[in-house]
Amino acid sequence: MKNLLEGSIRAIYEELREKHPGMCACDACRTDVVAFSLNATHPRYTSGTDMGQALIGVDLQRDQTRAELAVIVLDAMRRVASNPRHPRTQTQTRAQS
């Protein structure tokens, strides 16, 4: 069983990270953003059948669905940036590298 949203959330996060280079990209912040985003959505599980994966995949590629996920991921990025699990000086250093 797999939550197909995870791949989409990670891809959207990477797209948004490129557009917001000032946000920290360390592993801790990245996993926090993904976890927060997944917790804010309804999971889309599949048991591995081709039909189930195809139906969910089509829904995840719709512009409206991707836009809704982008809003959730951007909100998660802002929340994590405002309260990272490491000192803010580390955030600034890692965001610049």
Domain boundaries, the chain: 2-96
CA angle at residue 57 from 72 to 8, to 5 degrees? 35
Q: How far is CA 87 from CA 49, 62, 76, 93, in A?
A: 44, 38, 18, 10
Q: What is the pLDDT of residues 47-83, one digit of tens each?
A: 766 766 666 666 667 778 889 999 999 999 999 999 8
Question: Model-level pTM?
Answer: 0.78
What's the distance, Cα to Cα, between the start and end of the chain in Å?
37
